[in-house]
Amino acid sequence: MKIGILGAGNWGTTLAIMLSDKADVNLWTIEKIEGRENTKYLPGYKIPDKVNITYDFDDAIDSCSIIILAVPSQVMRDVAKLLYKKTNAVLLCVSKGLEKTTLKRMSEVLFEETGVPEDNICVLAGPSIAREVIRGVPTSCVCACKNKENAKLVQSILNSKTFRVYTGSDVIGAELGGALKNIIAIAAGICDGLGLGANTKGALLTRGIREIIRLGVVMGANTDTFAGLSGIGDLITTSFSTDSRNHKVGELIGKGYPMEYVRDKMVEVAEGIDTTSAAVELSERYNVSMPITQEVYEVLFNKKSPLTAIEALMARELKPENL
């Protein structure tokens, strides 16, 4: 089997290394990789000689049965346009975000721009910090697709003794869980940056998943999905891991650094920043209450003090827990 991977960040590079023993892998990048080591995004790990590192897009996708899209969500549409009517492959999106301008999920962007049927578009979601995966830390994810056979195909090629893959059909839930948890992870990082305790973080994650469920259900997702790997599983990992970009954003803000500094500090894209903006718009469109998301937005984009944001959340009108 031949697999094309579009994007050589830490996740795309990790997948290329992982899959090199199972398939012929093409890794497409626009940034030069010297000495077969991606020193910018995944230092310390050699890309096997059998992986074809290419800077030619058409070469990367030629004759591939599966094409993995591992580019940041805000450039996904530009990359998807390059695929237009060039492939019959199964597309697997591993990026977790919402398009800021259209508020769309990545599978929607791929469907609109590639000419590939919805049944051939899969998404990978769940707690999967790339630097842990590449070290062989036991990890579990879910591949969601409307076509069960395509989900099983991805499952069979990705599954290994340290990387367990489940299948699912709730593409909407898997994508929204993967994208929206980044907002809560930023909030968790802020709590850690402020030096707050486990009580705060436990409540934050619990109320955060409630917000995600509220929006997800009105957008067509299955409630049960958010109790799984792409929901609470990914939320917990991203909110606690020191390798989480979104947690790092929040932590720096909690320590008092301005947003401009935080953006400059990040080597890779923290998807939660732009997703916060998109989620606020979606909450207004669907008339869904998302107070944590709203306060994260105010901190990120309107320079609201994190402590003032926390005070606002604690002072909200009292209500039953299930609302």
- CA dist 89 and 67 (Å) reads 6
pTM: 0.95
* Mean pLDDT of all residues in 117-143: 97
Please report the beta strands in the chain, taking only residues with DSSP state E, as ranges in sequence order.
2-6, 24-28, 52-54, 66-69, 90-93, 121-125, 139-144, 163-168
- CA dist 293 and 184 (Å) reads 7
Query: What digits encode the pLDDT tens for the residues 267-310?
Result: 888 899 999 999 999 999 999 999 999 999 999 999 999 999 99
Given a cut of 90, whether residue 266 has pLDDT beyond it is: no
Contacts of residue 163, Cβ cutoff 8 Å, sequence gap at least 6: 18, 133, 139, 140, 141
Q: How many CA atoms lie within 13 A of 66 on its CB side?
A: 26
The closest of 191, 210, 208 to 200, measured between CA atoms, is 191
Structural domains of the chain sorted by starting position, each given as residue range(s) with its CATH number in brackets: 2-169 (3.40.50.720), 179-314 (1.10.1040.10)
Let me know: does 69 contact 110? Beta carbons within 8 Å.
yes
- CA dist 31 and 159 (Å) reads 28
Given a cut of 90, whether residue 42 has pLDDT beyond it is: yes
Q: Identity (one letter) of the amino acid at 42?
A: L
- CA dist 143 and 171 (Å) reads 9
* Mean pLDDT of all residues in 125-129: 97
Q: Return the pLDDT at 269.
A: 81
Query: What digits encode the pLDDT tens for the residues 192-217?
Result: 999 999 999 999 999 999 999 999 99
For the chain, the distance separating the N- and C-terminal CA atoms, rounded to the nearest angstrom, is 49
Let me know: does 165 contact 45? Beta carbons within 8 Å.
no
Residue 181 is among the residues annotated as catalytic for this protein = yes
- CA dist 279 and 219 (Å) reads 12
Q: What is the DSSP-derived secondary structure letter of residue 46?
A: B
User: Active-site residue among 32, 40, 81, 181?
Assistant: 181
For the record, the structure tokens of 120 come out as 């051939």
For the chain, what percentages of helix, strand and coil (3-state, to nearest 5) are there? 50, 15, 35
* Mean pLDDT of all residues in 112-136: 97
Let me know: does 101 contact 189? Beta carbons within 8 Å.
no
For the record, the structure tokens of 69 come out as 């899209």
Query: What digits encode the pLDDT tens for the residues 74-97?
Result: 999 999 999 999 999 999 999 999
- CA dist 271 and 234 (Å) reads 14
Q: Return the pLDDT at 47.
A: 98
Given a cut of 80, whether residue 323 has pLDDT beyond it is: no
Query: What digits encode the pLDDT tens for the residues 222-258?
Result: 999 999 999 999 999 999 998 999 999 999 999 999 9
Q: Return the pLDDT at 263.
A: 86
* Mean pLDDT of all residues in 100-115: 97
Percent of the chain exceeding pLDDT 90 equals 96
Confidence at 52, pLDDT banded by 50, 70, 90: very high
Q: Identity (one letter) of the amino acid at 271?
A: E
Let me know: does 67 contact 83? Beta carbons within 8 Å.
yes
CB-count burial class (<10 Å; 0-12, 13-18, 19+) for 190:
buried
What is the Cα Rg of the chain in Å?
Answer: 19
Q: Return the pLDDT at 264.
A: 85
Cα–Cα–Cα angle for 84, 85, 87, rounded to 5 degrees: 105
Given a cut of 80, whether residue 70 has pLDDT beyond it is: yes
Q: How far is CA 105 from CA 60, 171, 234, 241, in A?
A: 24, 10, 17, 25
